[in-house]
Amino acid sequence: MRPNTYITFALLILLPFALFQGCASTAQQQTVAVTDRPEEFQRFYAALDGVVRTYKVGEASDFPVDGFPYLRTNRFLAAIKDRIMDEERAQVWVEQMLSLDLKARKKEISNLPDQGFAALADTLGGISSREDLMANLEFYANRFLAHDRRQPGFYDAVKAGVNISGEYSTAMRTFGLYPVAYYPVVSATKKKYDIFRGWHQNPLEKLEVDGSISVFAPPRGDAVSPEALYALFSATGRDALGRPDLTETELKQLISAYAPVIYQDVAAGYDFFGKIRWQNDQVTIDYQNHTVYYYVTYGFINGAPALQLNYAFWYSGRWGENAPRIERGPLDGVTVRITLDSQGRPIMLDIMNNCGCYYFSVPRKEKVAQVVASSNALYPFVPTWLPESFPHDRLSLRINSGWHQIQHVYAREVPSDALTYQLLPYDVLEALPKNDRTTESVFTPEGIMKDSSRIEPYIFFSMGIPKVGYMRQRGHHAIKLIGKAHFTDPDLFDNNFIFE
């Protein structure tokens, strides 16, 4: 087949999929209809949504529910919608989405510039402060839900409205000739995997050092044994959605106990991870204040909800000779996630750069009966296994200079001379204080980190990921160039592994 004929054939094959995706989305939206809604409720949300769009302060970590302006969802809540059979669980499910929307909208209200808030207050009337607006938000959200819940078919309508489109563009893949780019990208990915596999399978002491190794550990609190952590799970039940029913205090105890020690090869200032700040309206990294940002998600292990502890840290940029030239640019980061089984024991570590790139899994070997390999042998990528002594010894990560890739995963006691990093909730990044006492998210309404840039979108356009290589917000990490997958897909592990 001639090249031009092949390209034409590929377009003819892929174009219907792009059209079908658009039609399916429209059809799904048409099924969402709840009638006789009070005009006052609709007017409030329309005004709020309008000013949020105008001033580009949309909060993107969670996703709107079509037809229900007071609800937002995430991939875990979307995944369980078809598993909810009784009304009691459905109520909890909807209330969780109500809570997500309230939390997101309060960040949006905080991030509105004064001009935007004044315009909204003038439209709505009777609002003198942001606190008033947030109080009105809670009032209308609860009244709106109470009204809709009385409508016949309410829960079916909500389920139809829960539709997360994902981070991949079918149009980009169609017009970027994805089938043509497929094989070169597979080949390049396998070569990178060989490099990673070599790092992880060779002894730690054989890794090259470009500068000097600096060690960073979480705050030294009261020592908690793994057995005491496991007891938190044995002493608690499951909530209505099947998740471990842990208190905020218990979650913070787990986050602190499992936070990793970072062995960073430091050759220049860009190798220090730090606290994110606004400086002259630019996202900057204060690397004298070493900081790791945490958040909690849920996935499935053997179909059961499993708690996931996420740790994200950020550098001022990806620079230096180790980093491939096309990947260099301002701002960089790594996310480390520890998934706990139903007894609270670490069963999986998975890691990505904060662009979603270089994703790999580190499972507990004795818990994996089979690795389900993809047809192209790319996924899942498992360069090593969880250390046997973890969590009795602290999880330790060796990271190289400039490129900021995790080269080795091991466990050992925390060195007495380790520097201390602070743990902060990821939420602060989505309404980060500025010097003038206002707040602004470090992410765009599309989930891209502001002031992050790369040339990769011009090279990997065919892979269908908008702004591929840019740093991204939680919830927006596409982790495959070939195929499709998202970091927060709760079925990610069950799709790739068969567990004991």
Residue 351 within any structural domain of the chain: yes
Q: Report which of 392, 405, 391 is spatially closest to residue 335, judged by C-alpha positions.
A: 405
Residue 204 within any structural domain of the chain: yes
Tell me the CA end-to-end span of the chain in Å, nearest whole number: 47
| Contact (CB, 8 A) for 314 and 333 | yes
Taking the C-alpha atoms of residue 87 and residue 90, their distance in angstroms, rounded to an integer, is: 5
Residue 26 within any structural domain of the chain: no
Q: Are residues 116 and 238 in the same domain?
A: no
Q: Are residues 75 and 183 in the same domain?
A: no
Q: Which pLDDT does position 85 carry in this prediction?
A: 84
| SS3 of residue 424 by DSSP | strand
Q: How many other C-beta atoms are found inside a 10 Å radius of the C-beta of residue 302? A: 15
Q: Are residues 138 and 250 in the same domain?
A: no
Boundary-marking domain end, from 161, 184, 209? 161
| Contact (CB, 8 A) for 339 and 348 | yes
For residue 397, the enclosing domain spans 170-499
Residue 278 within any structural domain of the chain: yes
Element (H, E) at 433: strand 432-433
Name every residue whose Cβ is closer than 8 Å to that of residue 317 and which is 6 or more positions away in sequence.
270, 328, 329, 330, 331, 332
**In tens digits, what is the pLDDT along the chain, a chain of 500 residues?**
444 443 343 443 444 433 334 434 333 443 445 668 999 999 999 999 999 999 999 999 999 999 999 999 999 999 999 998 899 999 999 999 999 999 999 999 999 999 999 999 999 998 999 999 999 999 999 999 999 999 999 999 999 999 999 999 999 999 999 999 999 999 999 999 999 999 999 999 999 999 999 999 999 887 789 999 999 998 888 999 999 999 999 999 999 999 999 999 999 999 999 999 999 999 999 999 999 999 999 999 999 999 999 999 999 999 999 999 999 999 999 999 999 999 999 999 999 999 999 999 999 999 999 999 999 999 999 999 999 999 999 999 999 999 999 999 999 999 999 999 999 999 999 999 999 889 999 999 999 999 999 999 999 999 999 999 999 999 999 999 999 999 999 999 999 999 99
With tokens 């037809």, the residue in question is: 67
| Contact (CB, 8 A) for 266 and 212 | yes
Q: Are residues 352 and 458 in the same domain?
A: yes
Name every residue whose Cβ is closer than 8 Å to that of residue 184 and which is 6 or more positions away in sequence.
none
Taking the C-alpha atoms of residue 499 and residue 491, their distance in angstroms, rounded to an integer, is: 13
66: amino acid identity, one letter: D
Q: What confidence tens digit (pLDDT) does each residue in 208-239 have?
A: 999 999 999 999 887 789 999 999 998 888 99
Q: Which pLDDT does position 382 carry in this prediction?
A: 98
| Contact (CB, 8 A) for 264 and 292 | no
Number of independent structural domains in the chain:
2
Taking the C-alpha atoms of residue 31 and residue 414, their distance in angstroms, rounded to an integer, is: 56
1: amino acid identity, one letter: M
Taking the C-alpha atoms of residue 96 and residue 93, their distance in angstroms, rounded to an integer, is: 5
Question: How many H helices and E strands in the chain?
Answer: 13, 19
Taking the C-alpha atoms of residue 185 and residue 181, their distance in angstroms, rounded to an integer, is: 6
Strand partners of residue 410: 396
Q: Are residues 367 and 486 in the same domain?
A: yes
Q: Are residues 282 and 135 in the same domain?
A: no
Q: Are residues 269 and 313 in the same domain?
A: yes
| Contact (CB, 8 A) for 316 and 331 | yes
Element (H, E) at 120: helix 114-124
Q: How many other C-beta atoms are found inside a 10 Å radius of the C-beta of residue 240? A: 16
Residue 20 within any structural domain of the chain: no
Q: Are residues 262 and 394 in the same domain?
A: yes
Taking the C-alpha atoms of residue 49 and residue 52, their distance in angstroms, rounded to an integer, is: 5
Taking the C-alpha atoms of residue 328 and residue 326, their distance in angstroms, rounded to an integer, is: 6
This prediction's pTM: 0.93
Q: Are residues 128 and 249 in the same domain?
A: no
User: Largest alpha-carbon pair distance within the chain?
Assistant: 70
* Cβ burial, residue 81 (10 Å; 0-12/13-18/19+): middle
Name every residue whose Cβ is closer than 8 Å to that of residue 298 and which is 6 or more positions away in sequence.
76, 243, 305, 306, 307, 308, 490
Boundary-marking domain end, from 109, 141, 161? 161
| Contact (CB, 8 A) for 245 and 239 | yes
Q: Which pLDDT does position 15 carry in this prediction?
A: 42
- Interhelix angle 248-258/226-234, rounded to 10 degrees, is 150
| SS3 of residue 332 by DSSP | strand
Residue 15 within any structural domain of the chain: no
Q: Are residues 444 and 426 in the same domain?
A: yes
Taking the C-alpha atoms of residue 22 and residue 27, their distance in angstroms, rounded to an integer, is: 9
Q: Are residues 383 and 275 in the same domain?
A: yes
Residue 3 within any structural domain of the chain: no
Q: Are residues 147 and 206 in the same domain?
A: no
Beta strand 368-371 with 497-499 is antiparallel
Q: Which pLDDT does position 18 carry in this prediction?
A: 39
In order of 56, 61, 77, 125, the CA distances from 446 in angstroms are: 10, 9, 20, 30
Taking the C-alpha atoms of residue 478 and residue 357, their distance in angstroms, rounded to an integer, is: 8
Taking the C-alpha atoms of residue 316 and residue 355, their distance in angstroms, rounded to an integer, is: 14
Boundary-marking domain end, from 161, 189, 216? 161
Residue 269 within any structural domain of the chain: yes
